[in-house]
Structure 1
Amino acid sequence: MAAHHHHHEPQGADLAKAAQATLEKSGEQWTAMREQIFKALASFDKPASAYDIAEAVSKAEGRRVAANSVYRILDLFVASNLARRVESANAYVANAHPDCLHDCIFLVCDSCGQTVHIDDDHITKGVRSAAAATGFSPVRPVIEVRGTCAECDTPN
């Protein structure tokens, strides 16, 4: 039986507050630019690239924001558990429960790009154990399952 976690997943301003609390707990500052980038990231319904986020923040701020600046902040967000990186897409999603650490399992739809993050400690502990058995020390396991989501798989 899989060990699934069920979380209260804050939305909107509550998610931004949870992200801020998590970042500040790690000793980092929650700046206006970090807030804008997090809010832009959280507004996407699919994984967003740094360029997507830079464009959204640029429109909201009325000034150009460079993707390089966004990448630096996204790296901080991933390291602080505020965001997850979908490796195969070089894109990011806001972590819906930033105060809880889990390894990533992403279900990525090849048709529409929708990406769902699931927590299953049974699977991720197995991956960590298999890696450790070979003498490998995993730092941040990411599992991506490519396929078709239920919406795209349903005939019209």
Structure 2
Amino acid sequence: MSAHHHHHEHSGEGLVSAARAALESADEQWTEMRADVYGALSAHERPASAYDIAEAVSKLRDKRVAANSVYRILDLFVRTNLARRVESANAYVANPHPGCRHDCIFLICDGCGRAVHIDDDRLTGALVEAARKAGFADVRPVVELRGMCDHCS
């Protein structure tokens, strides 16, 4: 098993196209509302809450969009690997390589809130193996490390 994954990281319209393709390959529809939510999510430089996204989509649509509607769409995006949930911040980030399944390690800055995603199969593989030994199957580690980024420290 290699220590690191190699991905083509998408951005801008390429990211939206890759997300749409990944969602449709999961037999889900790419609706206007889902497109608006994904656009708002991918526009955030830092993890965004459902309320942040609902506010952005409300402004875009010029009508109020409920956060619970956004939560349902975000849950779909997490299930289909278009987004990841930063548990400790109750926030979401767009996956820069939608459709690629792997484990998550987030480095989260306590100063500015920036979240950096890294891949390291050695670390997450050890967690998966420990879970197997404890009788768990189909685990997908999400590891969050908090500290200060270079800019803030």
TM bin, normalised by shorter chain, reads over 0.9
Distance between the aligned counterparts of 1:118 and 1:145, measured in 2? 11
3-state SS in 2 of match to 1:16: helix
Instruction: Let me know the Cα RMSD of the aligned residues.
Output: 1.3
Q: Which residue of 2 is the match for residue 57 of structure 1?
A: 57
Could you state the TM-score of these two structures normalised by the residue count of structure 2? 0.96
Deviations 1:86-125 (A, max 9, x none): 0011000000001211111000111110000111111111
Q: Which residue of 1 is the match for residue 46 of structure 2?
A: 46
Deviations 1:12-52 (A, max 9, x none): 11100000000000000000000000010000000000000
Distance between the aligned counterparts of 2:139 and 2:49, measured in 1? 23
Which aligned runs of 4 or more in structure 1 are off by greater than 4 angstroms?
none
Distance between the aligned counterparts of 1:102 and 1:33, measured in 2? 27
The answer as to 2:115 corresponding to 1:115 is: yes
8 Å CA contact retained: 1:131, 1:138 = no
Letter in 2 for 1:86: V
Letter in 1 for 2:95: N
Q: Which residue of 2 is the match for residue 3 of structure 1?
A: 3
Count, aligned residues: 153
Could you state the TM-score of these two structures normalised by the residue count of structure 1? 0.94
1:2: how far off? 6.6
Distance between the aligned counterparts of 2:40 and 2:74, measured in 1? 11
Letter in 2 for 1:43: A
3-state SS in 2 of match to 1:97: coil
8 Å CA contact retained: 1:2, 1:123 = no
Letter in 2 for 1:26: A
Distance between the aligned counterparts of 2:27 and 2:2, measured in 1? 34
Q: Which residue of 2 is the match for residue 17 of structure 1?
A: 17
Letter in 2 for 1:145: L
Q: Unaligned 5+ residue runs, structure 2? A: none
Q: Unaligned 5+ residue runs, structure 1? A: none
Distance between the aligned counterparts of 1:86 and 1:2, measured in 2? 25
**4-13 or 141-150, which deviates more:** 4-13
User: % of aligned pairs identical?
Assistant: 65
8 Å CA contact retained: 1:105, 1:142 = yes
Distance between the aligned counterparts of 1:115 and 1:128, measured in 2? 23
